[in-house]
Structure 1
Amino acid sequence: MSKLFVDASLQKKLASGVQLLDKHDISTQTPTNQLVFLYSPKSAFLGTAYLSEQNKGVGWFLSPKKLKLDVAYFRALFEQARQKRRAYENDSQTTAYRLFNQDGDNFGGMTIDRYGDYALFSWYNAFVYENRQTIIEAFQLVFPELIGAYEKIRFKGLDYESAHLYGQKAPDTFTILENGVAYSVFLNDGLMTGIFLDQHEVRGSLVDGLATGKRLLNMFSYTAAFSVAAAMGGATETTSVDLAKRSRELSKAHFMANDLPLENHHFVVMDVFDYFKYAKKKGLRFEVIVLDPPSFARNKKRTFSVAKDYHKLISQALELLTENGVLIASTNAANVSKAQFKKQLEKGFGEVKHTYLDFKTLPADFASNKADAQSQYLKVFTVKVEQ
């Protein structure tokens, strides 16, 4: 076991509850992909961490105690995580949700989702991946009823993105339930699954009637999950816009899973800014508009960054929104705080009168580390616009 002496700034950071280690915290000479014991500049033991580079950070602090990452350790983590989510487990109307969420469940670098009878593991760095057999053995002891599992590789260095892990293989596509709505999902086709589970409370508000009797525009729609939720909640018409060609067939699959007729539901493969121009030219108007862009996107025409460009989406959407219409403004950009995001919204609204109706962050199954704002990455404002 390696010993690592860290400076006072990291000691203070760990004492505050932050678990993610970034490149400024650790010397570049430190060996990676290993468990380490951390010590203060005065040689006081601080706890156990592991070092392994990933998309965000270079490792994770695990505990103020000396740990052995064996089956018993992971089993205890999974038992605690399962207990937190009993309400989801007992909800017959929702069969897909997060079972384990990184530092929110005290082990960063790994997430586990439930999709019906199957588990989906996501590995975010090489160290966790190398320990996956121990992790899987512990998981099966705590969740023996799940009949099979898949994995997603979310770090660079391997020659595959998705694979079957153990147990029965899932059908190529199958349906799960969320808030009583069926969604068509897939577990072994690249990194995507057909739905982003962290938005289930926002979709729940649409199922509960936020768009009843209204026309909804869903921008950056992916598989149109917001549109399906709105349709099931009584929306009279939906339009889903995404640049990805595959989005149309995946979106229709969700509607078909709920036996929803497609006559009043439209699927447009187009850049969203081009669609804004098209819709304005055609005089199209909507009572509800959903804006849920990726944190950063680039195509042949332009680049988009939530931190710099979200206000452009707001100002463009206002031109298509009816009087007293509702905007659902969402981002999953961990590097953009709630205050920074709201500043982008305000810049987009300008002088237009508006009222904030609701704010949502991650649902309870996506347990987050309250000490670290980056852990609570999702920010969704629902805004009534009185123009």
Structure 2
Amino acid sequence: MLTQLLENAISARNDLITADPVGAFRLFAGFYEGEPNLVADVYGRTLVLSSYSSDPGEGQALLAEAQTVILQHLPWLTCVLQKQRQSQQEELRRGKITFGESCESSILEHGVKYALDLQMNQDASFYLDTRLLRKWLLDHSQGKEVLNTFAYTGSLGVAALAGGASRVLQNDRNARFMELARRSAMLNRLDLGKMKLRATDFYSEMARLKKEQVRFDIAIIDPPFFSVTEKGKVDMAAESERLINKVRPLIKHGGRLIVLNNALFLSGNEFMQSLHVLCQDGYLSVEEILKVPQDIIGYPSTLTGVAPAAPAPFNHSTKMVVLSVRRKDALAG
């Protein structure tokens, strides 16, 4: 059964499988394509297999079968990294190389190189579902000042910098994660003087920027699903509005606020309703809904599952919206 599901998924992605693989894509979106406990991603010539099974034996069997099948169909792969996302052992969550010797250290997307550390965390340090947002930033950042909050490894900020941003501020609590942003900028020979990395708490950093009256043309809010710090709580399912209101004062008149929410059990309509409430005062408006790439959600010929909460008007539980911002002080002047 799994073999057939994987073969169908590979066939549907023929246009993404090239003779000289340098990019990254989802090869098997198990939740949507028939095996919810398995995800397969390709980063250059490295295959990353992730098991979400709570049964270690079952998870290992899934990973082993998937590795065998995929290597038969993609013989150009030089490394396989297996992650057991539900394991009690951090080493297994971060991943174990089961084929080859070393993982890919960078990929190329829309002409931009991004540094990777596939074993840095339980995920792969680079989110594939925001590919089209990185393209949006490449196309809309020329001459702009950009704030990237909850930056993680900073790929969104690097995309903005590569798109010609005049200044990029990346904010995340973890300095080690953000070091990948510096490496990415260096890979592209971008001006590091235009990118600042701030390893501080979100709430403290927003308060500082507001006090100093710093303004940005574009701000990005891409929070983790849930976290608590000594300064405040981040709960995407319940508190998107609060996060937006923390960042909103930092955006210039005519600027854009990009909001992401990947809460699996929050429907697209519920999320949009919360945004429409914020837009009622006339100072925010929905400009654009960004889609998640097809390889992330599966194809008509491979789809067997549905999201637990209907994503519409989005096409995936990763919900991305571009909001236009108007400022009272600018209008009054």
Band the TM-score falls in, shorter-chain normalisation: 0.7 to 0.9
Which residue of 132, 153, 165 corresponds with 1:235? Answer: 165
Equivalent residue for 1:168? 100
Structure exhibiting the larger radius of gyration computed from Cα positions: 1
Q: Are 1:378 and 2:318 counterparts?
A: yes
The 3-state SS of whatever aligns with 2:242 is helix
| Deviation readout 1:213-246 (Å, 9 max, x if unpaired) | 1100000001111111011111111000111131
Tell me if the contact between 1:221 and 1:241 (Cα under 8 Å) persists in the aligned partners: yes
Matched with 2:271 is 341
- Which one of the candidate residues 195, 205, 217 is aligned to 1:265? 195
Cα 1:158–1:247 change in 2 (3 A) is closer
Measured in 1, the distance between the counterparts of 2:228 and 2:241 equals 17
Percent of aligned pairs with the same residue? 24
Shift of 1:90: 4.2
1:112 matched to 2:35: no
Paired letter, 1:271 = D
> How has the CA–CA distance of structure 1 residues 91 and 292 changed in structure 2, closer, same or farther, with 3 Å as cutoff?
farther
SS of aligned partner of 1:121: strand
Q: TM-score, normalised by structure 2?
A: 0.87
Q: Shift of the alpha carbon at 1:351?
A: 1.0
Report the Cα offset of residue 302 of structure 1.
Answer: 2.1
Structure 1: how far apart are the matches of 2:287 and 2:177?
30
Inter-CA distance 386–197: structure 2 relative to 1 (3 Å threshold): same
1:152 matched to which residue of 2?
83
Q: Which letter maps to 1:275? A: E
Cα distance change, pair 350–290 in 1 and its aligned pair in 2 (3 A):
same
Correspondent of 2:116 among 173, 185, 190: 185
The structure carrying a bigger helix percent of its residues is 2
Residue number among 28, 49, 58 corresponding to 1:100 in the alignment: 28
What corresponds to 1:311 in structure 2? 241
* Inter-partner Cα distance in structure 2 for 1:382 and 1:92: 34
Q: Report matched runs for 1:58-97 at 5 Å.
A: 73-90=1-18, 95-97=23-25
What is the RMSD of the two structures over their aligned residues, measured on CA atoms? 2.2
Alpha-carbon deviations, 1:155-198, whole Å to 9, x = none?
Answer: 14456323434332225x61111111101112233313321111
> Which residues of 2 match residues 278-317 of structure 1 at below 5 A?
278-317=208-247
1:351 paired to 2:286: no
What is the CA distance between 1:82 and its match in structure 2?
Answer: 1.4
Q: Are 2:251 and 1:321 aligned?
A: yes
Contact 1:217–1:290 at 8 Å: present in 2 too? yes
CA contact (8 A) 1:94 1:179 kept: no
Per the TM alignment, residue 271 of structure 1 is displaced from its structure 2 partner at its CA by 1.2
Matching residue of 2:331: none
Residue 80 of structure 1 aligns to a residue whose secondary structure is helix
1:196-223 Cα offsets, whole Å, 9 max, x none, are 111111111111x212111000000011
Partners of 1:219 and 1:372 in 2: CA distance: 27
Q: Give 1:358-373 correspondences, 5 Å limit.
A: 358-368=288-298, 371-373=306-308
> Using the alignment, how far apart are the partners of 1:270 and 1:353 within structure 2?
29
1:280 to partner: Cα distance: 1.0
Aligned equivalents of 1:362 and 1:231: distance in 2?
22
Q: CA deviation at 1:312?
A: 1.3
| Residue aligning to 1:216 | 146
Name 1:122's counterpart in structure 2: 50
Identify unmatched segments of 5+ residues in structure 1: 1-72
Note the residue ranges of structure 2 that are not aligned, 5 or more in a row. 328-333
Distance 1:135 1:109, change over 3 A: same
CA gap of 1:139–1:131, structure 2 versus 1, over 3 A, is: same
- Asked if structure 1 preserves the Cα contact closer than 8 Å seen for 2:201 and 2:231, the reply is no
- Alpha-carbon distance, 1:349 to partner: 4.3
What is the alpha-carbon distance in structure 2 between the residues aligned to residue 348 and residue 91 of structure 1? 48
Comparing both structures, which one devotes a greater share of its residues to strand? 1
Name the amino acid aligned to 2:283: K
Query: CA contact under 8 A between 2:264 and 2:307: conserved in structure 1?
Result: no
* SS of 1:284 mapped into structure 2: coil
The superposition leaves residues 223-275 of structure 1 with CA deviations (integer Å, 9 ceiling, x where unpaired) of: 11111101111111100011113133222111111111211111111111111
1:135 CA displacement:
2.5
TM-score by length of 1: 0.75
